[in-house]
Structure 1
Amino acid sequence: MTFVISHPMDAPLSALDKGVPAIETNLPLDAVGAQQWRLLKEDLPLPVAVLKEDCLRHNSQWMKSFLADGGARLAPHGKTTMSPGLFDLQLADGAWAITVSTPHQVQVVRRFGYQRIFLANQLIGAKAIDFVISELARDASFEFFFLVDSVDNVKAIAKAARDAKLQRPLEALVEIGYPGGRTGCRSVNEAIDLAHAIHETNGAIVLRGVEGFEGLLKGADNAATLELVSAFLDSIVALARACDEERLYGSETVILSAGGSSFYDIVVEKLGSAALTKQTIILVRSGCYITHDSVLYAKAVQALRERNPALADAHGGLAPALEVWAYIQSRPEPEKAIAGLGKRDISYDDQPIALVWYRPGVDMERPQPLSPDHRVTRLNDQHCHLEIPADSPLKVGDMVGFGVSHPCLTFDKWRVLHVVDHNYQITSSVRTYF
């Protein structure tokens, strides 16, 4: 069966899109598979970003199994891909909501018709607040959750809701953070005071839960990082219990949420121990699991393997699904090659990894692995500097597939990514809306 990932509202492909052939007329996404394009036959202009369908399927099922075993739910972070086609795949596998970060992302997911949105950020600014209130007033089935860490913000949102005569409450989670971190109240006591401020809006806003983000905590080594993460999650649990004891929640179901793409196992274990008097939803928000990667989250999985090898290796573990392909366009020195991709095409938190190579037009059945001594040393806007051994097989015109680090910052460089099967035949395409 053809594996098609697209959304009915997606705009068609155009020759104006990077990575799309010079087609004369626009092509609906659901017709892409019928073109029988194949990456290795040079049917696509390079550089091009591709998603390996077998890895996408595998990662989606892996997360589904993890959540079922842990009794948690997933609101995948949409800012990773901003792709409705991939959102639909995640929802089909049981995702509870779509998470976003910005007012623009809220507008996008609403335009595409998603009914349950978790804003993992503060709702700030008159236009953003008014848009959410208008959507809640217009659509009784729309559910929206957001974070607060400021009494001033609570008052501004409550006033806007009253001015608009909104007939139902907005639903907020108090965010707790940590000194030197990003957003969030800096102590449990401060967060409890904020929860009281929500309660005092007299129903304009209700407290639906407690939230925090542990993904940026870093210690001297994996063990030290784990201690920091565990202590931070304990503070979320302490706050959740305090709000429960003081009867500050405005619903019979409480949401406890944390969890990027590095510590979801610890999040589920810790938050699952809260033992509140109300029914609890443990909500993790990993977005990068769907494609995984070859560097940043590969390291996170190695850390997971150290603390929980059974989970890390369950069902084969996560697999990198995202690659960016480019031609070798110059080999100016015996130990140097230049590939035709750069910072405009691939993330550069860490350098990409040169994974495989292929020579078009010869009897070469499949791409072949490149040895670790083929190393990306730096990126320019459109050029990739490769340090290679003098006896490397690479020559001008060869194709190289690169693994990425941090999928979020590769997705946002592409309006179109192509889904490929095990032979690198294009089965469908997905659009992004950054």
Structure 2
Amino acid sequence: MTVSATAKAAHPSLSPLDKGVPGTISEVTIEAVADQRWSLLREDIPLPAAVIKQDALRHNREWMKSFLEDSGMALAPHGKTTMCPALFDMQLDDGAWAITVATAHQLQVARAFGYSRIFFANQLIGKSAIDYVMRELANDPAFEFFCLVDDLSNVEALASAARAATLGRPMKVLVELGYVGGRTGCRTVEQAMTLARAVHASGTLALAGIEGFEGLIRGSSNTETLAQVESLLGTMVELAERCASQQLFAEGTVLLSAGGSSFFDVVATRLSAARLDRKTRILLRSGCYITHDSVLYVRAMDAMRERNSTLADSHGGLEPALEVWAYVQSRPEAEKAIVGFGKRDISYDDLPVALSWYRPDGGMTAPQPVPAGYVVTRLNDQHCHLSLPASSPLRVGDLIGFGISHPCLTFDKWRVIHLVDPSYRVTGSIRTYF
């Protein structure tokens, strides 16, 4: 996929209006950030601040590239994870086939930055969003757009809008297959087949493939979860083979797409088993791999290690790259510290974990690992409650770095995130567009 350089939007300069940016500057362009020679440990930037360790970022990119090469899979990383065009560009440089989005706003951001192949992992609903897509398709022959359908009335609405827009080419859709109790998607193969036939008969829509999302499946054990995931993927294959046998797919490569973030190996194995007598592209949409995390996806990799240790540990496995740093704000009790960050700064569906600490005036040459016994017990808007041993040396003014859980819900709290080297010197900054 190519990105039009002329279409790319300009990133606004950093200013004191951005959280995590020094109040002593007026403005600094993104390109000039490295020249400022800021250091987190030297306290050049106000805390809390979110940082990405560039070495871990590079490692995770290489891990994914190797996995895709070995498995023959394609990747359309979910842009909603980071909403960061700078990271999108890295993923495209690594060979990503497309960028995935899920809302009209995310789509508009991706188009503003010139991305020309977009996978919309949702039904396209509402006049404003549909009109926007039809306009983009009409005005840009190079724009490739794919969206999901799981409802007949939506198929009819899209077909009607495409007909009115006189696009001169069909609009590409994938039938979404879900599961009982899950989120979106047809609940049965028969329901999905009815939808596929309606797409095929519409005249203005093209059935480009089959999609499903396994990421929210949770059984009572890893074994039960795996069985349910495999069941959904197997049903997707059944649906795809039936659509192929009835010649419902449009011309070209058929897409079989799943989320994959926790089940890279399972998606690759199960969807590759489809026999369609057609060229097929197995498309992952993982977005979280690029920064990984310290809780949620660590658990997912542990589960993968139980079933596929070779993949989980290949090239050293994925590494947590995203951290939030803050000051010890108060030490009100012997076994309690209050740290200066909270729900407005970090994800909290799983509580963060303390990783490293540093005392600016303490003669330390580098951050030290936080030992066992330091536990985040709750978060307020701007405060973190940290339980610790009474003998802990932590005092007001010390810096602590925290590992996050669920990257999506940390990225969305920052307009600016700094890239840092192993010494926590700022080597650049990236912008998000939530």
* Pairwise same-fold verdict (TM > 0.5): yes
Structure 1 counterpart SS, 2:38? coil
1:86 is matched with which residue?
A: 87
Partner of 2:265: 265
In structure 2, how many angstroms separate the alpha carbons of the residues matched to 1:380 and 1:38? 27
| Partner residue in 2 for 1:324 | 324
The letter of the residue matching 1:396 is V
Q: CA deviation at 1:200?
A: 1.1
Within 5 Å, give how 1:10-409 maps onto structure 2: 10-202=11-203, 204-409=204-409
In structure 2, what residue type is equivalent to 1:167?
Answer: G
User: Deviations 1:3-54 (Å, cap 9, x if unpaired)?
Assistant: xxxx872111111000000144221101100100000000000000000000
Q: Percent of pairs identical after alignment?
A: 62
Q: In the TM superposition, what whole-angstrom CA distance separates every residue of 1:258-316 from its partner, at most 9, and x where no partner exists?
A: 02410121001100110211100000000000000000000000001110001000000
Deviation track 1:170-224 (CA, whole Å, cap 9, x = no partner) reads 000000000111000000111011000001111x100000000001111111011
Number of aligned residue pairs: 427
Would the aligned equivalents of 1:294 and 1:353 in 2 still touch at CA under 8 Å?
Answer: yes
Tell me the CA shift for residue 82 of structure 1: 0.1
- Indicate the residue corresponding to 1:4 in structure 2: none
Alignment-derived partner of residue 4 in structure 2: none
User: Would you say the 8 A contact 2:9–2:113 is kept in 1?
Assistant: no
Secondary structure of the residue aligned to 2:41 is helix
Give the AA of the match of 1:318. L
Distance in 2 (CA, whole Å) between partners of 1:306 and 1:245 is 37
Counterpart-to-counterpart distance in 1, 2:155 and 2:86:
34
For residues 131 and 70 of structure 1, what CA distance do their matches in structure 2 show?
Answer: 36
What amino acid sits opposite 2:117 in the alignment? Answer: R
Structure-1 separation of matches of 2:432 and 2:86 = 9
For 2:312 and 2:152, the matched residues in 1 are separated by 41
- Amino acid across the alignment from 1:76: P
Find the aligned partners of 1:248 and 1:256 in 2 and give their Cα distance. Answer: 14
Match of residue 5 from structure 2: none
Relative to structure 1, the CA distance from residue 245 to residue 55 in structure 2 (aligned partners, 3 Å threshold; closer, same or farther) is same
* Consecutive unaligned residues in structure 2, runs of 5 or more: 1-7
How far apart in 2 are the matches of 1:111 and 1:285? 21
Q: Distance in 1 between matches of 2:251 and 2:208?
A: 6
Per-residue deviation, residues 382-409 of structure 1 (Å, max 9, x unmatched): 0000000011111100000000000000
SS in 2 for 1:89: helix
Q: Secondary structure at the match of 2:402?
A: strand
- The DSSP-based 3-state class of the residue aligned with 2:286 is coil
Listed as ranges, the gaps of 5+ residues in structure 1 are 1-6
Q: CA deviation at 1:362?
A: 2.5
Determine if the alignment matches structure 1 residue 416 to structure 2 residue 416: yes
Asked if structure 1 preserves the Cα contact closer than 8 Å seen for 2:325 and 2:400, the reply is yes
Per the alignment, residue 427 of structure 1 pairs with 427
Q: Which letter maps to 2:101?
A: V
**Partner SS for 1:200:** helix
Equivalent residues of 2:102, 2:120 under 8 A apart: yes
1: CA distance, partners of 2:189 / 2:176? 10
CA distance in 2, matches of 1:371, 1:338: 17
Kindly report the root-mean-square deviation, in angstroms, between the aligned alpha carbons of the 2 structures.
0.8
Query: Secondary structure of 2:268's partner?
Result: helix
Partners of 2:139 and 2:264 lie apart in 1 by 35
Q: Counterpart amino acid of 1:309? A: S
d(CA) in 1 for partners of 2:385, 2:260: 32
TM-score (norm 1): 0.97
How many angstroms apart in 2 are the aligned matches of 1:71 and 1:194? 29
Structure 1 SS opposite 2:337: strand
> What CA deviation, in whole Å up to 9, does each residue of 1:241-261 have, x standing for no partner?
000000000122100000241
Q: Take 2:295 and 2:370, find their aligned partners in 1: how far apart are those partners?
A: 16
TM-score by length of 2: 0.97
Equivalents in 2 of 1:273, 1:228: separation in Å?
17
CA spacing shift, 1:346–1:17, aligned 2, 3 Å: same
| Separation in 2, partners of 1:284, 1:264 | 8
The question of whether the paired residues in 2 share the 8 Å contact of 1:14 and 1:23 is answered with: no
Contact 2:294 2:404 in 1 (8 A): yes
Tell me the amino acid that sits aligned with residue 327 of structure 2: Y
**Alpha-carbon distance in structure 2 between the residues aligned to 1:150 and 1:105:** 22
Does the aligned pair in 2 maintain the 1:260–1:287 contact within 8 Å? Answer: no
